[in-house]
Structure 1
Amino acid sequence: MSLMADDILTLALKRLERRLALSAVDRSAFLRMPFYVKQMVPSAYIIREQDLTKTCSILLSGFAFRSKVLGNGGRQILSVNIPGEILDLQHAFLGKADHSIQMLTAGTVAFVAADAVRDIAFAHPAIGRAMWRETLVEGSISREWIANIGRRDARTRVAHLLCEIAVRLHAAGLITGNRYELAMTQEQLGDATGLTPVHVNRTLQKLRADGLITRDKRSITIEDWKALSAVGDFVTDYLHLETEHGPSSILNGGYHA
């Protein structure tokens, strides 16, 4: 196996090892799984709702999102995915997609055979448990998004989303300061928070006027983390950033701008 192949699957392996310690044998088996890589354009479907599952995808670069489209044509964005995340473990085990996953930006995706994912989960119980934990965390994030949309006001919803993206990028080592690229249009932010694009724009403008954030095209700079997280009713617990070996550094005082 080439170094390039090792590097690609290592992204997903590191993700799982945040959930559970794996042996050298486990790691070697994981890196031997067959896969192919595909360059994706914005809005391209990784998998569509109702598709039968043949692969399990790993986001190597760019951003993606999960969504469901309702009978009236309305779209609800269910989560935003960042590089290094395994996008559809649940689909690999359920056999049929119950929601769609699309690219938010241009990026690269590795597709692993679903049969290989299922086989390795049962042949290597530690890998299976790590996958189980990963899907449980996805469920935890989904519950937080339901609460965000269902019970928080517009200002709190948007602030919460901005905080979550910052913390997840920080935990993945993709940012180190207080600025990041927000790869979402106002329409997409509206689909993620249950707001109209106009309401999203007004809310972002108010957060900026209050000195909590600044915006430059699609970049967000968090100017006052403590105030923004308070406005967003944001606590990191639901992200389950801990590992078996203790809490990650991001929980030691939280994200610092």
Structure 2
Amino acid sequence: MSAPPTPLQSLIRNLSLRAPLDADDCRMIAELPVTMRTLEASTYVIREAERPGLCFVLTAGFAFRQKLTGDGSQQIIALHIPGDPIDLNYMALDVADHSVQMLTRGDIAVIVRSDVQQLVKARPAVGHALFVNMLAEASISREWIVNVGRRNALTRTAHLLCELGARLEAADLIDEYGYMLPMTQERLSDALGLTSVHVNRMLKALEADGLISRTKRKINFPQWERLRSIGDFNQRYLHLHTDLFSHTG
């Protein structure tokens, strides 16, 4: 009889997509002491200027990183999906320079920072995998800068939809044709640097051109390759050792 899944099974899968881990590495990750918390949408996981002594892993639901401007405007700077460690920077840094909030209702595994630090010292491969994960996050951040700074509204909208699809596919959290979009148009606008009205127009334009179809919050991709082209999307920056799903049409 197989052992029941551990709260950190999704983290093990996530890290294994980018770096090799042997059975003992996976076992020691799985045996980390965790406290589980269920958080509602918009709840803060980390607030800017806090001094976190904990590490967090998102095990269910979605979260986002954000910064606020002086006038209170919000810019979403990253999305987290199940299996993501939330800001491993705080394994070494002592002050949070941005905030993390839940995008949807979800669960997080809370781990004492010193336990992660000890594991990294004991299992160098785990430390390497976590380091690679942080480098991949930095790569995604660079792509987001290009997306907001240089791509037009239609392209950046398509690009974000493609990225989320690729990451969910790698995490085995997508069906054959699409996924449930966890973001409202307001949240999309905060991630894309557009107004909610403009986001609505871009989604309608993609739908009118047959590149996506929508049923309530479900997004399907009847012409995935064309959407990738419109979105200027190349998955190289995600550094995932997996093939993207592809659709013909």
Task: State TM-score, norm by structure 1.
Answer: 0.91
Structure 2 partner of 1:218: 217
CA shift digits 1:57-89 (9 cap, x unpaired):
111111111111111111110111111111121
Identity over aligned pairs, percent:
45
Structure 1 partner of 2:92: 93
Structure 1 partner of 2:161: 162
CA shift digits 1:30-57 (9 cap, x unpaired):
2222210001100001111111111111
Structure 2 partner of 1:233: 232
Q: Does 1:41 align with 2:31?
A: no
2:157 counterpart SS class: helix
2:92 counterpart SS class: helix
Structure 2 partner of 1:30: 29
Letter in 1 for 2:137: E
Structure 1 partner of 2:134: 135
Q: Note the C-alpha offset of 1:125.
A: 1.1
Once residues 173 and 28 of structure 1 are traced to their aligned partners in structure 2, the CA distance between those partners, rounded to angstroms, is: 21
Q: Does 1:79 align with 2:111?
A: no
The alignment covers a number of residue pairs equal to 245
Aligned pairs for 1:41-120 (under 5 A) are 41-120=40-119
Q: Note the C-alpha offset of 1:101.
A: 0.8
Structure 1 partner of 2:190: 191
Q: Note the C-alpha offset of 1:20.
A: 2.2
CA shift digits 1:122-151 (9 cap, x unpaired):
222111111100000000000000000000
Q: Note the C-alpha offset of 1:17.
A: 2.1
Once residues 148 and 73 of structure 1 are traced to their aligned partners in structure 2, the CA distance between those partners, rounded to angstroms, is: 22
Letter in 1 for 2:114: D
In the alignment, structure 1 segments of 5+ residues that lack a partner are: 243-247
Q: Note the C-alpha offset of 1:14.
A: 2.1
Once residues 148 and 216 of structure 1 are traced to their aligned partners in structure 2, the CA distance between those partners, rounded to angstroms, is: 26
CA contact 2:6–2:30 (8 Å) conserved in 1: no
In the alignment, structure 2 segments of 5+ residues that lack a partner are: none
CA contact 2:18–2:239 (8 Å) conserved in 1: no
Once residues 229 and 20 of structure 2 are traced to their aligned partners in structure 1, the CA distance between those partners, rounded to angstroms, is: 34
Once residues 189 and 29 of structure 1 are traced to their aligned partners in structure 2, the CA distance between those partners, rounded to angstroms, is: 37
Once residues 169 and 136 of structure 1 are traced to their aligned partners in structure 2, the CA distance between those partners, rounded to angstroms, is: 19
1:52 counterpart SS class: coil
Structure 1 partner of 2:17: 18
1:112 counterpart SS class: strand
Structure 1 partner of 2:205: 206
CA contact 2:159–2:231 (8 Å) conserved in 1: yes
Once residues 214 and 239 of structure 2 are traced to their aligned partners in structure 1, the CA distance between those partners, rounded to angstroms, is: 29
Task: State TM-score, norm by structure 2.
Answer: 0.94
Once residues 219 and 121 of structure 1 are traced to their aligned partners in structure 2, the CA distance between those partners, rounded to angstroms, is: 39
CA contact 2:65–2:76 (8 Å) conserved in 1: yes
- Higher mean displacement: 170-179 or 154-163: 170-179
Letter in 2 for 1:72: D
1:51 counterpart SS class: coil
Q: Note the C-alpha offset of 1:223.
A: 1.7
Structure 2 partner of 1:245: none
Letter in 1 for 2:246: H
1:33 counterpart SS class: coil
Distance 1:118 1:188, change over 3 A: same
